[in-house]
Amino acid sequence: MDHHTSSNNRYTSLGAGDSKERILALVKQNQPDFTDLPAIVNFKQEYDDVAEKFITVLRGIGSLVYVVEGYDQIAGIIKENFADARRIVSTCDELASIAEINKMYEDPHLLEDVDLFITSSNLAVAENGAAWITDKQLSERVLPFIAQEIALVINKKNIVETMHDAYDKIADEEYGFAVFIAGPSKTADIEQSLVLGAHGPKMMTVFVVE
């Protein structure tokens, strides 16, 4: 905290302080009469099978999905699918036999050669296939982006219907960084042709644990 407060002071000498007062005065003067914030409504969705919906959406956005019983099975699938991987990093203790577990890294740049990153998510959303990951599940924030491929372990009971349900759960959660990830990184910037693997992972595998 102290560190940041002191660097903050260094910047105020640029005259930023004046601009703050000026901007706020103009905003106050020009903003319209107060209107109330509407009450938050959760538009409930009733899917016949939440997990089924989640899996369908995930496949639709280019992810590979396995429904599994537990970590033994996951380790087996990874060993088979990623036989060529030179470096696999994970934050799941259960995968110690196949991956580098929960190390603290000196420098995020050292993760440049990670082929596969595996982590777990405690909250996933059926309507859009997104999984919530906070820095508690990341030894380095860059891991889910820098790895060539990513795999997520999600317990079936942690899948909710919509983003409303998701934010109901995480409204007060503490984190420094958190992210919803839905599928592999992608782009369609060249003539709207969809290409998987823009800057982040080229593939995403999701293990739904029954």
Element (H, E) at 149: strand 149-155
Please, which of residues 149-168 interact with other proteins by CB under 8 A? 162-164, 166-168
Classify residue 13 by its DSSP letter: I
* Other C-beta atoms lying within 10 Å of the C-beta of residue 129: 25
- Under the criterion CB under 8 A, does residue 48 sit at the interface with other proteins? no
State which of residues 59, 87, 141, 156 lies at the interface with other proteins (CB under 8 A). Answer: 141
* Other C-beta atoms lying within 10 Å of the C-beta of residue 195: 12
Q: State which residue, 78 or 131, has the beta carbon closest to other proteins.
A: 131
Tell the smallest beta-carbon distance from residue 115 to other proteins (Å): 14
The answer to whether the CB of 189 falls within 8 A of the CB of 35 is no
- Under the criterion CB under 8 A, does residue 96 sit at the interface with other proteins? no
Nearest residue to 61 (alpha-carbon basis) of 134, 111, 141, 126:
126
- Under the criterion CB under 8 A, does residue 54 sit at the interface with other proteins? no
3-state DSSP call for residue 37?
Answer: coil
Q: What contacts 160, CB < 8 A, 6 or more positions away?
A: 50, 123, 124, 125, 126, 166, 169
State which of residues 184, 205, 206, 208 lies at the interface with other proteins (CB under 8 A). Answer: 184
Q: Which two tokens stand for residue 191?
A: 């003539």
Q: State which residue, 17 or 70, has the beta carbon closest to other proteins.
A: 17
- Under the criterion CB under 8 A, does residue 186 sit at the interface with other proteins? yes
Place of tokens 């099978």: 49
> Taking contact as CB under 8 A, which single stretch among the options 3-11, 64-72, 74-82, 93-101 is the one that binds other proteins?
3-11
Q: State which residue, 126 or 209, has the beta carbon closest to other proteins.
A: 126
- Under the criterion CB under 8 A, does residue 192 sit at the interface with other proteins? yes
Q: State which residue, 81 or 128, has the beta carbon closest to other proteins.
A: 128
> Taking contact as CB under 8 A, which single stretch among the options 65-73, 74-82, 90-98, 120-128 is the one that binds other proteins?
120-128
